[in-house]
Amino acid sequence: MQGEGAAAQIAAAIQGFNRLAAGGPVSRPDLLIIARGGGSLEDLMPFNEEIVVRAAAASVIPLISAVGHETDTTLIDHASDRRAPTPTAAAEMAVPVRLDLIGELNTKTGRLTGGLSRLFTSHRQNLAGLARGLPDPQDLLGAAAQRLDDRTERLRLSIAARFAGTRQRLELAAARLRPAALAADIRRARDRLHDVEPRLASAVTRAFAAKHDAVDNFAGRLTTHSERHESLLVRGYVVVRDAAEKVVTDAVKVRPNTALELEFYDGKVGAIAGGSRRPVKRTVPPIGQGDLFKEP
């Protein structure tokens, strides 16, 4: 690979390999190595020829140049895909040691496993922190059930007292009237009162059943709300609280330079409100416990 005509032969070899079909009788190689041992400057001149440099630059097949020794530099080195200091280094570059590849793969596998483990641990800690900040649904249901039982007992006592007062007033009125003339009216009034009592008791029972159903519905909504809190934070929603740790829902209530706390799915961040705000009007029905004694 030196002397007159060497440059044309090198260029023709590069072009010939590139003209081979991928599925032809002679398969096109996956890599070309243009290599030559050391020599004088005149011996390396073919690798500086324009025809060789253009053929190397136009090669579709990846090309490694390994001309001369490490200190030798030719123009083909700049046109090739990679340059090796020696032909031996070019062979090592083209065919890596299998043990080195296995070691590198094991190293990256260990790093990936460690990163996933740290990621899962961090998410588990964030989830535990969010769970500690949420109220216990059982406590909320217990308080609502206690209020319902208290008001049920108060209503029952009030109805009984009302019946007792009405009966007493009726008996006093009957005592002041003449028994002979109004005895039939009193009996009819007493009979109507006896008829009304079971109907009223049945109505109260139905009202209590409806309120219990409302409490059960509220329990389901509360449980769903507590489960959705974490999923909303993960999807990108943020809970905004003021310095008193109260949730802020209206932009117009935030004054400039107000200290705020932003709760994301993976932690909390402090922030300072800016000087401008553009409230957006939204029509969102209020979410709350509601009145347990209001008919649905």
The rounded average pLDDT for each run of 10 residues, N- to C-terminus, in the chain (296 residues) is 78 90 82 80 80 90 84 84 87 82 90 94 88 76 88 91 88 70 71 80 83 76 65 78 82 81 83 68 51 46
Note the pLDDT tens digit of each residue in 81-140. Answer: 888 888 888 888 888 778 888 888 999 999 999 999 999 999 998 888 887 777 777 777
Cα-based angle 57, 61, 66 (whole degrees, multiple of 5): 70
Cβ count within 10 A of residue 34: 25
Q: What is the pLDDT of residue 292?
A: 42
Amino acid at 263: E
Does residue 68 contact residue 62 with C-beta atoms inside 8 Å? no
Q: In whole angstroms, give the CA distance from residue 10 to residue 65.
A: 12
Q: What is the pLDDT of residue 47?
A: 84
Does residue 233 contact residue 169 with C-beta atoms inside 8 Å? no
**pTM given for the model:** 0.34
Cβ count within 10 A of residue 51: 15
